[in-house]
């Protein structure tokens, strides 16, 4: 699954880095996320970014049979991102009043945000079984080497064993990070 499932058809073929404009954060109730994304994409034609992970829920029916149902859960509950390319689009958001203006703020470091979100986007496309971490992790900075799907992605090393290494991809704008497991042969030290 890609991150951009909720984009309009035209923007669903693009990456977050391909959208030109200023990225903004929206803080909302987790129950309002889908409604806001639909209004941004559908009514206003504004690309919204809502990273979600696919989770498998297992249910047992009355006859004792197990049924597995995949569903999507927000990776950062209550947080959405959207890209505005001009004053007219921002005016349209304020005019439609489906988002409280106090809950919107511009992302200060646009370049850093795009770099981190693009790394998250490639990690979700790779689908390594992401796990949301409550706070940023401290450790050795590393980079994924050439030859791997996530080539160039940087993060902090948090756990190792003989076969797998766990490191975090940080989204500093949201003050959160995601843990990714990868074969240690694909990692190298990074000089950030």
Domain locations in the chain as residue ranges: 1-107, 126-192
| Contact (CB, 8 A) for 53 and 123 | no
Is 166 or 63 the better-scoring residue by pLDDT? 63
Residue 35 pLDDT class (50, 70, 90 cuts): confident
- Please give the C-alpha separations between residue 41 and each of 72, 82, 145, in angstroms, as whole numbers: 18, 9, 35
Structure tokens at 75: 């990776």
Is 45 or 93 the better-scoring residue by pLDDT? 45
Global model pTM greater than 0.85: no
Please give the Cα distance from 11 to 34 (Å, whole number). Answer: 17
49-71 as b/e: b if 16+ CB within 10 A = bbbbbeeeeeeeeeeeeeeeeee
Is 184 or 36 the better-scoring residue by pLDDT? 36
| Average pLDDT estimate for 42-68 | 85
Please give the Cα distance from 128 to 180 (Å, whole number). Answer: 6
pLDDT, one tens digit per residue, over 143-190 is 887 767 888 888 887 876 656 777 878 777 778 888 888 877 677 777
1-107 maps to CATH 3.30.70: yes
- DSSP codes, 127-170: ----EEESS---S-EEEEPTTSTTTT-EEEEEEE-SS-EEEEEE
Please give the Cα distance from 181 to 183 (Å, whole number). Answer: 7
126-192 maps to CATH 2.30.30.140: yes
Q: Phi first, then psi: what are they for 33, rounded to 5°?
A: -55, -50
pLDDT, one tens digit per residue, over 109-139 is 898 888 888 888 888 777 656 655 443 344 7
pLDDT of 192:
53
How many alpha carbons lie under 13 Å from residue 160 in its C-beta half-sphere?
A: 9
């Amino acid at each position: 699954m890609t991150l951009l499932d909720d984009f309009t058809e035209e923007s669903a073929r693009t990456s977050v880095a391909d959208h030109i404009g200023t990225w903004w954060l929206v803080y909302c109730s987790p129950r309002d996320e889908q409604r806001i994304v639909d209004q941004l994409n559908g009514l206003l034609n504004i690309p919204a970014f809502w990273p979600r992970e696919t989770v498998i829920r297992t249910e047992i029916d009355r006859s004792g049979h197990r049924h597995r149902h995949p569903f999507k859960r927000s990776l950062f509950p209550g947080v959405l991102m959207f890209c505005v390319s001009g004053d007219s689009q921002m005016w349209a958001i304020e005019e439609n009043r489906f988002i409280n203006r106090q809950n919107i703020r511009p992302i200060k470091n646009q370049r850093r945000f795009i770099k981190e979100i693009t790394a998250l986007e490639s990690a979700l496309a790779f689908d390594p079984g992401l796990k949301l971490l409550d706070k940023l992790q401290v450790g050795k900075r590393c980079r994924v080497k050439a030859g791997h799907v996530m080539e160039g992605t940087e993060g902090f090393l948090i756990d190792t064993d003989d076969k797998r290494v766990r490191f975090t991809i940080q989204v500093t704008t949201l003050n959160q990070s995601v843990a990714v497991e990868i074969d240690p042969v694909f990692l190298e030290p990074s000089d950030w």
